[in-house]
Amino acid sequence: MCVTVSPVAVHITKSKTTNVYLTGNQKLPSDRNNITILPYPQKGDGRAMINTSPVNLLHANAATSLPPCDVNHAVPAAIFSTGGYAGNFFHDISDILIPLFLTSSILRPNISLVLTDYQSWWVQKYQRVLSAISINDIISAPTDYPGGTVHCFPGAIVGLTYHGFMACNKTDVPGNLTCVDFLHFLHSSLFLKTFGPPATVTTQKEKPLMVLLSRRNYRILLNEEEVINLAKDVGFRVEVVTPKEATQLQFIAELVHSSSVLFGVHGAGLTNMIFLQPGAVLLQVVPWGLDWMSTCYSKPPLEMGLKYVGYKIGIGESTLIEKYPIDDPVMVDPESIHMKGYDVSRPIYMEGQNVRLNLTRFRGTLETAMQLAEF
């Protein structure tokens, strides 16, 4: 991430190349005339960088003359990419919206958002959140000017800083902001009920609501109906959300916000924990061989004022047992498979198994979730 408090000229073109011209006495490190930045947080992830267009920082001098301004702005710019893994809900939150919330906190809402790798559907999905960050129109590459447009700002932030899996490092600049602050901001921007008594407080007549995230492609809960009936028997009301319904941001936000427990098999859908009220519960089913990856969803709840319950399936609850011998490394040593790289482990553990829960064993986990939801 690069920050400047002096004027800049930002030349945005259809070619997916953005040039930021530094003016006055601003200097680049080691007296270089230009530096290229990939304005998406996970710069060490080659897959993400393939879909991220570069931003060139140029020192305006005789060799790189400052272009005239087409549009002048009175507030600084935040320049970032909606390429990378944008479109995956987990990465939308973890890689873009949390870093953007933290980065813009001092200036919000008096800041202009400049999006490279602009995707209209992405902006439309998160319009309410983006509007709460900036009161100004989103700036992107023009579609009707082949030569692009030059926007001039009194300062700029180029790129975003990654804080970890749905994490807020309050010791980093600007500091003193936590994931609870992010949730409060998010709920407010989506017009969800203001933080108040935990969602877990219910009347004697009302049972706690469990929202079940149903899966359709892989890591499917094969005995979903039996699990639903078991949850009802334990004392929950159950609402099932399909993958298509889960893409409707306002719908899923309001439903999860009204629930006491969000439940699902490991996957990006569990990111919807961000809509839970304080004190509510996230219940994650951890498929075979995904212990480490499950921490993407087991650690954040504790930083968000939520409660977490995990259910690690037994070897007989995974359909992998139908594909591999019981003594195969896939079954007895998943770590050795992961060491071969994600391209090897993903087709096996992420995309190659479904789960069938042992109802007797799982009942205890549901009872634990119920106890946490009631108090």
pLDDT band at 171 (very low <50, low <70, confident <90, very high): low
The Cα–Cα gap between 238 and 201 comes to 17
Cβ-proximal residues to 56 (8 Å cutoff; 6+ apart), any chain: 17, 18, 19, 20, 34, 35, 36, 37
* Residue range(s) occupied by CATH 3.40.50.2300 in the chain: 209-374
Task: Note the pLDDT of residue 174.
Answer: 67
pLDDT band at 204 (very low <50, low <70, confident <90, very high): low
User: Which residue type occupies 302?
Assistant: L
The Cα–Cα gap between 211 and 201 comes to 16
Task: Look up residue 334 and give its two tokens.
Answer: 């998943």
Task: Look up residue 370 and give its two tokens.
Answer: 């119920």
Is the per-residue pLDDT at 304 higher than 80?
Answer: yes
Task: Note the pLDDT of residue 375.
Answer: 59
Helix (H, G, I), strand (E, B) or coil at 260: coil
The share of the chain scoring above pLDDT 70, in percent, equals: 93
Task: Note the pLDDT of residue 25.
Answer: 76
Return the residue matching tokens 């009220």. Answer: 277
Task: Note the pLDDT of residue 59.
Answer: 81
Cβ-proximal residues to 64 (8 Å cutoff; 6+ apart), any chain: 21, 33, 34, 58
Task: Note the pLDDT of residue 16.
Answer: 80
The CATH class for the domain spanning 209-374 reads alpha beta
pTM listed for this prediction: 0.91
Give me the mean pLDDT over the 125-152 stretch. Answer: 91
pLDDT in tens, 239-249: 999 999 999 99
